[in-house]
Chain A
């Protein structure tokens, strides 16, 4: 079955816009490599589609250039070594700003839905 086109959905929120805060959030919990982050982003309930591999890896590189995360090569007992990322203090600060911004947005959304419900009740 062909995959549903995200571009055709007028209500979809572009994944690219959510990638950075979602990565910050996951790295706040644990250090992780890109492969692992893509799997976790896919399982996270705050995103409704599989993350694009290239988008996530590019975002990680950009975030490292911006000082939000740092990477080092980590290898476990088995399998390959991968570049593992962890949050920096700057990354944590940005995550906190995102949380504040999302809380404001949540209030606006609640207000929007409340307005609709009130109209329905009239």
Chain B
């Protein structure tokens, strides 16, 4: 009897919707394959691989996570397949939602009755990217102390393990605003404040400027420091994959024109 083929995919929470849709596309072409999907914050995904997690495809929200934790021991080559930008997501029930703009969001968040959230920088790139936006905003808006002010106000009860958790917090009204990816805001129909290019971590033309922001991270073995960079998502087949051929086929679909349509439909920018 022929052994059932399985493809195991581990991905960043922010990629939940596009990954599910790409899996559906993959299964239409390969109906004999059983696909399992698991997700977490990107750094948590990488740590799972370091601890021996058996996966065939790993898709993360930052190439830096591959470089910092997985290359060359666990991953050989990783492919950049999409980009995004940081936004401040909210719904119409958020306090002052009708008044917030790209020019006053800092003052709105500082109000005593307003709450906002981010994800954990040690587990999820969206978390350290939120901190980078705050650092860059301090300079951009010429507001000394802004970073400290926002950091102090966003306490541990407002810091979630992964970016996708922020959407539940917004939907349930646990917070008014959340620092998220534009794609996630679009997928869940949230309104959002668009930040200027100089601070939204979207544009390679601003890479040098973004690198002025940096965040210290606690590591499993050693601590590290990540510098600001344009947001990119990357995917790889780990060295220990037992289904390399199927994993390669999945990545081919993800980066095909049909895969790109899915990514675009989910608010990402295929690249």
Contacts and interface: CB of A to CB of B under 8 A. Distances in A.
A57 B63 contact: no
A3 B206 CA distance: 14
A53 B80 CA distance: 14
A69 B260 CA distance: 17
Contacts of B245: none
B80 A80 contact: yes
Given A1-B142, A80-B78, A80-B234, A51 B205 contact: yes
Contacts, number: 71
B270 A53 contact: no
Contacts of B206: 50
Contacts of B66: 80
A3 to B, nearest CB: 5
B271 interface: yes
A57 B197 contact: no
Contacts of B79: 73, 80-82
A75 interface: yes
Contact of A38 (B203, B234, B257, B270): B203
A39 interface: yes
Contacts of A75: 77
A121 interface: no
Nearest to B206: A50
B155 interface: no
B27 interface: no
A116 B141 CA distance: 41
Given A41-B205, A80-B63, A61 B270 contact: yes
Contact of A79 (B63, B102, B230, B270): B63
B269 A53 contact: yes
B252 to A, nearest CB: 10
Interface in B227-271: 230, 232, 234, 255, 257, 260, 269-271
A41 to B, nearest CB: 7
A36, A54, A79 interface centre (most CB from chain B within 10 Å)? A54
Given A34-B271, A35-B232, A53-B203, 10 more contacts: A1-B142, A39-B204, A50-B206, A51-B203, A54-B269, A57-B83, A61-B270, A80-B77, A80-B78, A82-B79
Interface of B: 63, 66-67, 77-80, 83, 85, 102-103, 140-142, 196-198, 202-207, 230, 232, 234, 255, 257, 260, 269-271
9 contacts: A2-B102, A35-B232, A42-B205, A50-B205, A50-B206, A53-B83, A53-B203, A80-B234, A82-B79
